[in-house]
Structure 1
Amino acid sequence: MVVLNLIDAGYAGLIAALRAEGLPAPDAGRYFSADLYGAVVGYVGLEGEGRDLLLRSLVMLADQQARGLGRRVLAAAEAAARDLGAARLHLLTTTAEPFFVRNGYRAADRQAAPETIRLTREFAGLCPASAAYLTKDL
């Protein structure tokens, strides 16, 4: 079972994993290490408060990719979001749209995003306008 553990956004392992995948450094939100049998296999973040949260930077360590663990980390992040009171997750991606669609996310119109999501730094400027915007009701 994948377990999420809250970590500091400045954690060196998180920063290194994000850089390795060309993802921006964490700037806001809660970040988690994804642990399997006590070993870190990846990282994921959740940003915001309330019913709409932004899924940030789901990244698997290089030696853990293509093992089906990303799906398990995503499920753990969705459970954590529900525990925080979220009813819907939002995300932006330039590379992983097929993965998220296979896991129940649907393309959405960026202009229809809730204001709390549109005002995040990732939404407002870190991700290019060409990034796919996807949502999933929890």
Structure 2
Amino acid sequence: MELILRKAQENEYRAIIHLLASNDLPTADIYEKNITLFVGVHGSEIIATIGIETYGNVALLRSLCVKEGYKNQKVGEKMLSYLITLCKHENIEALYLLTRTAEHYFLRHGFEKITRENTPLHIQQTREFKDICPSSAVIMCLKL
């Protein structure tokens, strides 16, 4: 399967919001200035998305999501690898995430669980950390 990975265009945000919402992932703040979204496109269809919220040399991974019918085809891994490579190129030293459902997936890809207290202040001040994700969400980190 041919998959094109690239930065999302503003006219694609509606499709991204639909994809995120259909997978019970947050959409409330995706237009904020520190958030950049990327898409995986097969043919003319957006089949995956991932985002990053950047604060200096740390970043928050936002909503890795693959469309139903394309799961279990390594699309998520390709999206994550793309984002990690981008982070390294941009001198991001650590990538954080919050999850309610994908802890085991991210453990397999080198992320480690951390406590809320050990999360950098910039990440603690994000809407996702403070308001969007419940306090029961698992916080994870990947040192780059």
TM-score relative to the length of structure 1: 0.91
Superposed CA RMSD in Å reads 1.9
How far did 1:98 drift? 0.5
How far did 1:23 drift? 1.0
2:47 is matched with which residue? 41
How far did 1:6 drift? 3.2
Q: Measure the CA separation in 2 of the matches of 1:52 and 1:78.
A: 12
Relative to structure 1, the CA distance from residue 104 to residue 2 in structure 2 (aligned partners, 3 Å threshold; closer, same or farther) is farther
How far did 1:4 drift? 2.4
Out of 16, 22, 25, the position equivalent to 2:24 is 22
TM-score relative to the length of structure 2: 0.87
Q: Measure the CA separation in 1 of the matches of 2:4 and 2:84.
A: 12
Relative to structure 1, the CA distance from residue 36 to residue 10 in structure 2 (aligned partners, 3 Å threshold; closer, same or farther) is closer
How far did 1:66 drift? 1.4
Aligned residue pairs: how many?
138
How far did 1:33 drift? 0.9
How far did 1:79 drift? 1.2
2:108 is matched with which residue? 102
Equivalence map 1:1-138=2 (5 Å): 2-8=4-10, 11-27=13-29, 28=32, 29-36=35-42, 39-138=45-144
SS at match of 1:82: helix
Runs in 1 of length 4+ with deviation above 4 angstroms? 36-39
Which consecutive unaligned segments of at least 5 residues does structure 2 have?
none
